[in-house]
Amino acid sequence: MVGSRQKILILIISFITLLSITSCETYPASYTTTIDKELEYNMDDNLKRRCAKMLKALSENDKETIKSMFSKKVKKRKELDKEIDKAMEFFEGKVLEYDSYVSGGDELSVDNGKITFFTLSIQIESVKTDKNKTYVIVGLYYVVNDKDPDSIGLRYISIYDYSNREPYDLNAPSVDVGDTNF
């Protein structure tokens, strides 16, 4: 009896091991991509697609697309147009490639089984342009906000110029667009 129990246990462990090996794809934590690849791969409206759309708009000086990504609340700010203009001037060149790790969960609230508040942090790293520039873009996107539905959308982005600098140099030149006051 003990022998058959051991065989069953070994069989179950082998099956679980095989299942876990075949179900997990091994990709690097991040990899570089292009805007076209990201837009082609992410057909659904998700944060990676929105970030690719933002990079395309920055590359093409498309102010209206950038503006359309912000929430209704942020669009009401009088400073927004000037901030976008400043960002367009700050961001030089067309994006060649970037690190595709663009989001991570930030805050989540659930009441009675319903998501009532959900935000995502934007992190677009190693943005390389044809003008030999390297940028990092961070920001905050409100996915759900039952208390303030007008805040759904992009709240802010900050663009950092890391050309000829160490990554995450605190003195890197930057520009902010949107509502950075929390």
Distance from chain centroid for Cα 141: 9
Q: What is the pLDDT along the chain (182 residues), one digit of tens a residue?
A: 556 666 665 666 655 554 444 443 434 445 666 655 555 554 555 777 888 889 999 999 999 999 999 999 999 999 999 999 999 999 999 999 988 665 556 677 888 888 888 888 888 889 999 999 999 999 998 888 899 999 999 999 999 999 988 877 889 999 999 998 86
CA 13 vs CA 1, 6, 22, 85: distances in Å: 18, 10, 14, 59
Contact 57, 137 (CB under 8 A): no
As to burial, measured by CB atoms within 10 angstroms (0-12 exposed, 13-18 middle, 19+ buried), residue 90 is: middle
- Residue 167's H or E segment, with its range, is none
Contact 134, 126 (CB under 8 A): yes
